[in-house]
Amino acid sequence: MLKEIIIPGYPPSTFKIRGDTIFYNIDAVRDGTEKNLGEALKKLLGISVDENGNVSYQGKPIRKIMIENNDFFGNKHQMATQNLSADMVKEVELHTKYKESNLDNSSNGIVMNVLLKDEFKGRPTGNLSTGAGNRYTVHSNLFMFGSGGNKALISDFNNTHCRVVWLSYAQPHPRAE
């Protein structure tokens, strides 16, 4: 059995591999220029984020993105990659052979689980950005992640033909042990 893998150019604290799961330490690759989760993910070994915010690992698409083990954004990667602040993220778990439950004998693909820093759990958090000129835009994010479920309100007011409102609520879904 292979005990350790060393990849030149990456400090050992960047990631750990345990079984079929890769644990990425976001703070080890962040330099403060990342505005959102997508910009931070692009710095992780093997992870790609396309112009639409879709995430892949070693060229294979990520099936869904979970927040704190709750299926929240599902396959709508861009909702997570373009709207979650990079400052909120503590760690990213990449499950390369994810199973919905231990009763399931087959892999359901690659799944990403985003773990948040404690200060962003159980309280509302978000941001607001604006821009004006010939075109105007107002974009806001409001999230609340906690044991009672995840909630989000992402809204845009603009004349640039962008999506107007996205509202979601996900109840906790404990995995079968």
CATH number at residue 142: 2.170.130
Other Cβ atoms less than 10 A from the Cβ of 147: the count is 9
**Is 4 domain-assigned?**
no
**Is 7 domain-assigned?**
no
**Is 53 domain-assigned?**
yes
**64 neighbors 111 (Cβ within 8 angstroms):** yes
Residue 37 domain boundaries: 12-170
Structural domains in the chain (count): 1
Q: What is the pLDDT of residue 158?
A: 76
- Kindly give the residue spans of alpha helices, DSSP state H, lying in the chain: 37-41, 77-81
Q: Which of helix, strand or coil describes residue 159?
A: coil
Q: What is the pLDDT of residue 152?
A: 82
**Is 118 domain-assigned?**
yes
**Is 17 domain-assigned?**
yes
Range with lowest mean pLDDT among 1-10, 27-36, 74-83: 1-10
Please give the residue that has the higher pLDDT: either 89 or 158: 89
Tokens 């010939």 sit on residue: 134
Distance between CA atoms of 106 and 73, rounded to whole angstroms?
Answer: 23
The share of the chain scoring above pLDDT 90, in percent, equals 33
